[in-house]
Chain A
Amino acid sequence: MSGEVLVSARGVEVHFPTGGRGFRTAQAGVLRAVDGVDLDIYRGETLGLVGESGCGKSTLGNALLRLVPTTGGSIAFDGTDITGLQGRRIKELRRRAGMVFQDPFASLDPRRTVAQTVSEPLEVHGLRKGRDKAARVAELLELVGLDANVAGRYPHEFSGGQRQRVGIARALAGEPDFLVCDEAIASLDVSVQAQVLNLLRRLQRQLGLTLLFISHDLSAVRHISDRIAVMYLGRVVEIGPAEAVGTDPQMPYTQALLSAVPLPHPKLERERKRVVLTGDVPSPAAVPSGCRFRTRCPYAFEPCDDVDPALQPVGAPGQQAACHLHGVVGTPATTPDGVTATP
């Protein structure tokens, strides 16, 4: 992993209007799926992105590839701001940045053969034609550990793990630099999860890919990632080297997440201290003022109500957390639309 930043997000927001659409109904509210994310992804690294369902991690992954429009902030891909890209330039982005989807049963067109699916990027970008195309498809299938002669088969003839390999082959066809794996192993059997996880790890090293690995499975993320970012309610609340975040988390939310991971040792499991969160995740349509985690935080104190914490360096080198326990840093709430929620 080099020190060069490949993808850089600054204050990225993805807000969805709730309620009616168009001119017929007045806009009822705003759902803040992603709400001010700062994130740098270095070339050649695997960044794990974890968080509960609904915290905005998938939306962020989609936004980084311009598959979901951002409503604020900027995203730079290899030095180019991609938030305003159009036409040809966005097509080039699509070639250089791919996505592996969660459900391999839904992400392959049932009416197209494996070869047709895998060769789609080659056709779209005019990369290979005729015999070269077929050869490239065979090469890609072998790269992901499939037999090259499955090219003429339809998706329904494959198992979940094999389908996911086809999905990975499609994502790699355009020789991308950056791959977003959006819960890529969540729908697979546990035994197959490990295989696909190791495949991704191998491909990342072999091809020098930059990987954003989105998952709610902390163990899987720790296994594959160089660094881990933790999201809560549309914001990155802690980020750092996988080892540091995984063993010495600095943000109470990360501590709670980690203590929910089962330990494969009965004695350790019995003796460890669990941080159990109370209450539910607030709705992203009504984000609490100040620190967005304060409504469930066991350590919440006065500044948490008013000051929105910024990421600050704490713990290991490269580790950052957004928490006032490490000193009050952040923007005071001017309560423009911050909804006060009481614990």
Chain B
Amino acid sequence: MTGAPVPPPDAPVAGQGDAKGTSPGPTALRPARPRWRETLGLLARNPTAAVASLVLVGIVLMAIFDETLAPQGPSEVSVQDRLQSPSWAHPFGTDDLGRDILSRVILGAGVSLRVGFLAVGIALVIGTLIGLLAGFYGRWVDDVLMRVMDMLFAFPAVLLAIAVLAVRGPGSGNTALAIGIVYIPIFARVTRASVLGVREEVYVRASRSVGASDFRLLTRHVLPNAAPPIIVQTSISLAFAVLAEAALSFLGLGTQPPNPSWGLMLAEGRGFIDIAWWLAFFPGMAIFLTVLCFNLLGDGLRDVLDPRQRTLMAGGGR
């Protein structure tokens, strides 16, 4: 009905340039290479992160096969062998009760890691959920949830953990619960901050415009795009959780003797530091190495998980 000249109908112009070339087949709904494999591939190119991951895998394997690996039981007391310096028979020396420190470090890995993973798992699930809801819905949901988080956050962490342990009694499981509760606000805040940015993205609005439900928006679009900082935080929190377990055990609130835990061993070795340094040194090194590796892995993940940086690092070749 307009008098305007009718232009020629557009010829299909797509497919030129980068739209053609390698392709996963005509009807593939999934990417050629799963994203997590690509992430691992990129991580392998970052030498520091790669080494850190390998060491962590080693520590986890050590914790899994601890009973086979440990030359002695953790509580095998031998009074005549007490406080021996490192030797071929006892590479890490023995403690004041003659127990083999290498065995106890190996067996302690399981305790320390279990507490770390459990604590971070609790904080990750609850904290992320809270942050997701607060960031996505905003308004009073945000106000209520984040004020509760602020209260939790304002509480001194050790004091909070002590309170939890005082109510529920000491032990590995309760230590993990205590540390997990302390870390919930951190995950809630990291998630919320990330979600606040993502929820304003046009692609979230676009999905809403085709009828996607809130649940779908949250699980398919918001959470995946808000995930990188959360993953990095998980890695770094694992480091801190291992430290926190050590600290609480050091204070006598975490793992109870005679169970081996790196923090507890550190505490027990403290009294002998001037005559037998190896009592505290080797568990300390184990903590140091684990924490360092989790931190390095976290840094590596931070670099790799940025989708824009990803293309640059992959060299554009795919």
- Considering residues B14, B17, B18, B202, which has the most beta carbons from chain A within 10 angstroms of its beta carbon? B14
User: Does A256 reach chain B (CB closer than 8 Å)?
Assistant: no
Interface string of A119-145 (1 = CB under 8 A from B): 111001100000101110110000011
User: Does A156 reach chain B (CB closer than 8 Å)?
Assistant: yes
User: Does A1 reach chain B (CB closer than 8 Å)?
Assistant: yes
Nearest 8 Cβ contacts at the A-B interface = A94-B211, A198-B10, A149-B23, A106-B202, A134-B27, A145-B12, A152-B24, A147-B15
| Interface size of B as a range | 35 or more
Task: Establish whether residues A152 and B29, one from each chain, have CB atoms under 8 Å apart when the complex forms.
Answer: yes
Which secondary structure dominates chain B's binding surface? loop
Q: How far is the CA of A125 from the CA of B208 in the complex (A)?
A: 12
Task: Establish whether residues B27 and A107, one from each chain, have CB atoms under 8 Å apart when the complex forms.
Answer: no
Q: Which of A121, A146, A152, A171 interacts with B14 by CB under 8 Å?
A: A146
Task: Establish whether residues A151 and B3, one from each chain, have CB atoms under 8 Å apart when the complex forms.
Answer: no
Q: Which residue of B lies closest to A65 (CB)?
A: B209
Distance between A100 CB and nearest chain B CB, rounded to angstroms: 9
Task: Establish whether residues B225 and A110, one from each chain, have CB atoms under 8 Å apart when the complex forms.
Answer: yes
Distance between A98 CB and nearest chain B CB, rounded to angstroms: 7
Please name all residues of chain B whose beta carbon is closer than 8 Å to the beta carbon of A113 when the two chains form the complex. 29-31
Q: Which of A121, A152, A156, A158 interacts with B31 by CB under 8 Å?
A: A152
The verdict on A147 contacting B19 (CB below 8 Å), with A101-B206, A154-B31, A156-B308 known, is yes
Given contacts A106-B202, A109-B203, A167-B206, 7 further A-B contacts (CB under 8 A): A94-B211, A125-B211, A134-B29, A151-B29, A201-B7, A202-B10, A243-B3
Interface string of A97-111 (1 = CB under 8 A from B): 011011100111111
- B residues at A contact (CB < 8 Å): 1-4, 7-10, 12-15, 17-20, 23-32, 35, 139-140, 143, 201-203, 205-213, 216, 220-221, 224-225, 307-308, 311, 318
User: Does A226 reach chain B (CB closer than 8 Å)?
Assistant: yes
The verdict on A243 contacting B202 (CB below 8 Å), with A151-B27, A157-B18, A195-B13 known, is no
User: Does A95 reach chain B (CB closer than 8 Å)?
Assistant: yes
Task: Establish whether residues A149 and B25, one from each chain, have CB atoms under 8 Å apart when the complex forms.
Answer: yes
Task: Establish whether residues A146 and B19, one from each chain, have CB atoms under 8 Å apart when the complex forms.
Answer: yes
Task: Establish whether residues B23 and A195, one from each chain, have CB atoms under 8 Å apart when the complex forms.
Answer: no
User: Does A21 reach chain B (CB closer than 8 Å)?
Assistant: yes
- A residues at B contact (CB < 8 Å): 1, 21-22, 65, 67, 91, 94-95, 98-99, 101-103, 106-113, 115-116, 119-121, 124-125, 131, 133-135, 137-138, 144-154, 156-159, 161-162, 165, 167, 170-171, 173-174, 194-195, 198-199, 201-202, 222-223, 225-226, 241-243
Instruction: List, sorted by A's number, 22 A–B pairs whose CB atoms are closer than 8 Å.
Output: A1-B1, A21-B139, A67-B205, A94-B209, A101-B205, A109-B221, A115-B29, A115-B30, A147-B14, A149-B25, A151-B24, A152-B23, A154-B31, A159-B17, A162-B19, A167-B206, A170-B210, A195-B13, A198-B8, A199-B10, A226-B2, A241-B1
Q: Which of B7, B14, B202, B216 interacts with A165 by CB under 8 Å?
A: B14
Please name all residues of chain A whose beta carbon is closer than 8 Å to the beta carbon of B30 when the two chains form the complex. 113, 115, 152
- Considering residues A65, A67, A91, A152, which has the most beta carbons from chain B within 10 angstroms of its beta carbon? A152
Q: How far is the CA of A330 from the CA of B253 in the complex (A)?
A: 79
Distance between A102 CB and nearest chain B CB, rounded to angstroms: 8
Task: Establish whether residues B211 and A174, one from each chain, have CB atoms under 8 Å apart when the complex forms.
Answer: yes
Q: Which residue of A lies closest to B140 (CB)?
A: A22
The verdict on A22 contacting B31 (CB below 8 Å), with A109-B203, A156-B308 known, is no
Please name all residues of chain B whose beta carbon is closer than 8 Å to the beta carbon of A202 when the two chains form the complex. 9-10
Q: How far is the CA of A146 from the CA of B35 in the complex (A)?
A: 24
